[in-house]
Chains A and B, each alone.
Chain A
């Protein structure tokens, strides 16, 4: 993989106005030495991109396989798979319930990676999980366990086994909702070594130096959190979305907006506001929950929903202001 910096990257003809207008960071800080991976390519080639989330193992891993394939057919350009963690503090009720269903079904990290091994989708896959799941993956219990009452050093948990397995399985990116940029260096380094993108979330409260810090570490895309709070389908597009996209306009990384996006019209509005992609999770998880157990009963509806969202995003591009010529 070539190691050109973002500064050296040639402008691409298919970029939208926002992308062409992007400028380098004003402070000239060190740019992350990562070339376009699968994720940026997928977003740029399918612009505006549809990014979908479902929880692996909800309600079973067999269903998840069928659902991922359905989303792929329906036009999802990137697919996030949630690896369930018992304490999903960033999630609203919908995805909390999905995670509980997946855990009740006995979903483990090992099974999760087996599923990813089997999947052959056109859309690159990302894993979304909490940091403890990444830290604990790998070393055997024997090497980590400390004896009761003893205060001797134990092997520290390490992010590398997870990242290595993710790379082996063909995952293109990782999103960790409880890992801010300040704590991310070990994972960022491991991801760089394995050419995996590490996506960071940019919140409505993120600005100034912190925004710079995040944007100097992000790769793949910046996950723009549309509103304060937790994940969950909403009836409208938040004003914070427009403000956040404006704050990010100067950074040369694709921006995708999530948290509350549930309909094609939302997708259109968000893309018209300058986003390179929309991220939809809870609205899809709702469909899975409504259909319950069976032989992947939600597949057709998921495919149709993906299509609606993708069409919405395309409509948004037509409504977007004409690109400025450099």
Chain B
């Protein structure tokens, strides 16, 4: 092609390509049947989210205030600050309705589906946090809702299954594979490939094909937008660092996005180090979920990103004491931010996370989610490199994790553990 018109077409194709990716990461690696739906979603994203058509973003913000409880506080953590001899602020996403940041995205997407005229909502869930948030949002906005959840997760996250059912959502157990998040996503994609014409897939993190990573990031970026304003009001300046846990990466991107242009602010993504950072190729198992720290580039669930995989390209089973971080992939934008050096990938192991859980519960009276506890574990181990003013994102509350924590703590004989023998008699 050499004439001006095709040059022009090439240039606009280039532009379209750049929008679909973050550097080389991202893209749209999905079955053909889903492509028109992704285009439709991209169009809706641009109109309603980016351009606030029909006052969409205004309605979203109002509902997040009245139904969701936003804004959430940025709290000075007095005793942690004393312990680490620097100012530690906690962004309290555990106070969002439902107990986690997940509602920011779920409500945004269900509302968007409504604006798009979709009639049915489907979603995957791992630990059940995204499933419960989606079920709440769907009930709130009067949309029929079905949640796919791995069999193992259904069995180990009963309270969340009950919550979804209470809100009127159907919960479809997925029997395949290890019965966790990866299989739940596979099955939700299969449902969507069949029902794409009237159904919206509310993906739960900044993963998946374009435009999901951008869409979810934008709904979650309220976390960092609030925190950035609050810290300047309360501490008089931008923080030296922001610390957030990273599984798929929705609370991470939500906390980081508004700070990315602030070059003085260091961004730390804390992954689940599990019990070891090494992949067992033979068994196809990674005893961790530290994708940004140890993964290699590949394609999973619609995007080119960092993955836990074998040399042949088979995706391995990830592991973490925290079900919400237990995923072999990660959002493509985080892969890009790590590649450019803007975000520092780190990890702490299960034990550090459990200790972080107990520490915050004990010192600050806040029971954090096991996911968020990874960020607190990192704070304990590396506070000296985080500067004098630190924001830690408490992405959710830990009521859902109490049983796991007590069990895992006992196994490890951790000192930080409270004595619960009161129940034993």
Contacts and interface: CB of A to CB of B under 8 A. Distances in A.
A322 interface: no
A31 interface: no
Nearest to A214: B32
A290 B46 CA distance: 50
A300 interface: no
A85 B314 contact: yes
A201 B32 contact: yes
B341 to A, nearest CB: 5
Contacts of A204: 33
A144 B31 contact: no
Nearest to A225: B33
B31 A89 contact: yes
B313 A136 contact: yes
Interface string A200-225: 11111111001000100000000001
Interface residues of B, number: 53
Mostly, the A contact residues are loop
B417 interface: no
A182 B313 contact: no
B190 A89 contact: yes
A230 B296 contact: no
B37 interface: yes
A229 B311 CA distance: 30
A323 interface: no
B28 A182 contact: yes
B262 interface: no
Given A206-B35, A210-B36, A86 B301 contact: no
Nearest to A227: B194
A201 B36 CA distance: 13
Given A131-B29, A136-B309, A230-B190, A151 B296 contact: no
Interface string A119-159: 00000000000111101110011001110110101101100
A228 to B, nearest CB: 5
A228 B297 contact: no
A24 interface: no
Given A205-B36, A230-B193, A177 B31 contact: yes
Mostly, the B contact residues are mixed
Interface string A11-36: 00000000000000000001000000
Interface string B317-353: 0000000000000000000001111001111000000
A225 B32 contact: yes
A145 B312 CA distance: 13
Contact of B28 (A141, A153, A180, A230): A180
B168 interface: no
A86 B178 CA distance: 12
A123 to B, nearest CB: 25
Contact of B297 (A154, A180, A205): A154
A31 to B, nearest CB: 12
Interface in A223-273: 225, 228-230
Given A178-B29, A205-B33, A205-B37, A228 B301 contact: no
Interface in B1-41: 1, 20, 24, 27-33, 35-37, 39
Given A136-B309, A206-B32, A228-B196, A151 B345 contact: yes
Contact of A151 (B294, B297, B341): B341
A180 B194 contact: no
B189 interface: yes
A68 interface: no
Contacts of A206: 32-33, 35-36
A109 interface: yes
Given A87-B182, A89-B186, A180-B32, A205 B197 contact: yes
B299 interface: yes
Nearest to B210: A182
Given A182-B28, A206-B32, 14 more contacts: A87-B300, A132-B315, A135-B313, A136-B309, A136-B312, A148-B294, A157-B298, A183-B28, A203-B32, A205-B37, A210-B35, A228-B195, A228-B196, A230-B194
10 contacts: A89-B31, A108-B312, A131-B29, A146-B295, A157-B296, A180-B32, A183-B28, A200-B32, A228-B197, A230-B193
